[in-house]
């Protein structure tokens, strides 16, 4: 059976790598994003549309489109997220806090809310939530992001409990530091906040893993394809880090 896969924030970064990996595995891919240029760069065989996953009306419309075009869904990759501010908690504005939680946590919730009835109807499927190792250990100077990602772990574990009796699995993927433009922005902002160079911050994070390096988007994508496959048919309710093995979540930078 050809899988029908929805990937949020799938036009670039980790989401793009997921879309490419599912496509290579023979799945039908539906990518949503808020970046028009990135969406326009997607292959013609992918379904694409612009969707803000923190907006319930847009999410509801997205799933109406999926129902009309595909008649169902097999895999939801709730991958959309934003980095949020880099600042000590006392310097974080409430508006920045709310925006970070809205895109990360509420986006995963809304997509799950609308995907679940489709998955229950066919009594099979998989939900994959992209959290972060920040959702396992915390993340100094990134309290909104850590709080959102921690909550996403709780959401994923709860969904696994609710959906298991219906033959649906849910797992949470926790990437470590992922090479790419988004992480570069984080490194630059943290370097400024701490009066350090970008390379010093990078080395601090890399040295916090036993493998001494950042991961790549394709590493996350490969895990997603596995977790959505029959090879993982009894893997559910798990929080799986793809991070090169974090041994010190708060390296002294």
Could you list the mean pLDDT of each consecutive 10-residue stretch along the chain, which spans 253 residues? 96 97 98 97 97 98 98 98 94 97 97 98 97 93 96 98 98 90 80 84 79 88 98 98 83 55
Residues assigned a catalytic role: 145
60 falls within a domain: yes
The residue among 105, 198, 87 whose CA lies nearest residue 141 is 87
Q: What is the structure's pLDDT at 252?
A: 56
Residue 250 bridge partners (DSSP): none
Q: What is the structure's pLDDT at 251?
A: 60
In this structure, are 189 and 84 located in the same domain? no
In this structure, are 145 and 59 located in the same domain? yes
In this structure, are 141 and 108 located in the same domain? yes
In this structure, are 132 and 207 located in the same domain? no
171 falls within a domain: yes
Q: What is the structure's pLDDT at 158?
A: 98
9 falls within a domain: yes
Find the CATH number of the domain harbouring 53: 3.40.50.720
19 falls within a domain: yes
In this structure, are 150 and 232 located in the same domain? yes
Q: What is the structure's pLDDT at 198?
A: 86
Q: What is the structure's pLDDT at 187?
A: 79
Q: What is the structure's pLDDT at 199?
A: 82
In this structure, are 68 and 151 located in the same domain? yes
> With a threshold of 0.75, does the pTM exceed it?
yes
253 falls within a domain: no
In this structure, are 187 and 222 located in the same domain? no
The neighbour count for residue 143, using CB atoms within 10 Å, is: 21
155 falls within a domain: yes
In this structure, are 117 and 224 located in the same domain? yes
In this structure, are 82 and 204 located in the same domain? no
In this structure, are 228 and 109 located in the same domain? yes
123 falls within a domain: yes
In this structure, are 132 and 224 located in the same domain? yes
DSSP letters of the chain? Answer: ---EEEEET-SSHHHHHHHHHHHHTT-EEEEEES-HHHHHTS-TTSEEEE--TT-HHHHHHHHHHHHHHHS--SEEEE--------B-GGG--HHHHHHHHIIIIIHHHHHHHHHHHHHHHHT-EEEEEE--THHHH--TTBHHHHHHHHHHHHHHHHHHHHHGGGTEEEEEEEE-SB-SHHHHHHHHHHHHHHT--HHHHHHHHHTTBTT-S-B-HHHHHHHHHHHTSGGGTT--S-EEEESS-BS-SS---
In this structure, are 10 and 114 located in the same domain? yes
How many folded domains does the chain comprise?
Answer: 2
250 falls within a domain: no
Task: Note down the domain range covering 194.
Answer: 178-214
């Amino acid at each position: 059976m050809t899988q029908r896969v929805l990937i949020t924030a799938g036009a670039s970064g980790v989401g793009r790598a997921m879309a490419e990996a599912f496509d290579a595995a023979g799945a039908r891919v539906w990518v949503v994003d808020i970046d028009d240029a990135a969406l326009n760069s997607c292959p013609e065989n992918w379904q694409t549309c612009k969707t803000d996953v923190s907006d319930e009306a847009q999410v509801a419309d997205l799933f109406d489109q999926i129902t009309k075009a595909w008649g169902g869904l097999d895999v939801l990759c709730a991958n959309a997220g934003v980095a949020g501010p880099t600042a000590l908690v006392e310097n974080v504005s409430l508006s920045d806090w709310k925006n970070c939680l809205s895109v990360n946590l509420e986006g995963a919730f809304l997509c799950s809310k609308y995907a679940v009835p489709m998955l229950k109807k066919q009594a099979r499927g998989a939900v994959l939530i992209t959290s972060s190792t920040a959702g396992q250990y915390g993340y100094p100077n990134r309290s909104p992001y850590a709080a959102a990602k921690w909550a996403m772990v709780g959401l994923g574990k709860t969904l696994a409990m609710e959906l298991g009796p219906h033959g649906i699995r849910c797992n949470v993927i926790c990437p470590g530091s992922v090479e790419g433009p988004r992480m570069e922005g984080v490194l630059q902002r943290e370097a400024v906040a701490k009066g350090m160079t970008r390379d010093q911050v990078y080395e601090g994070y890399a040295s916090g893993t036993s493998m001494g390096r950042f991961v790549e988007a394709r590493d996350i994508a490969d895990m997603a394809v596995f977790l959505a496959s029959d090879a993982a048919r009894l893997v559910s309710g798990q929080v799986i880090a793809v991070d090169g093995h974090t041994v010190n979540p708060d390296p002294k930078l």
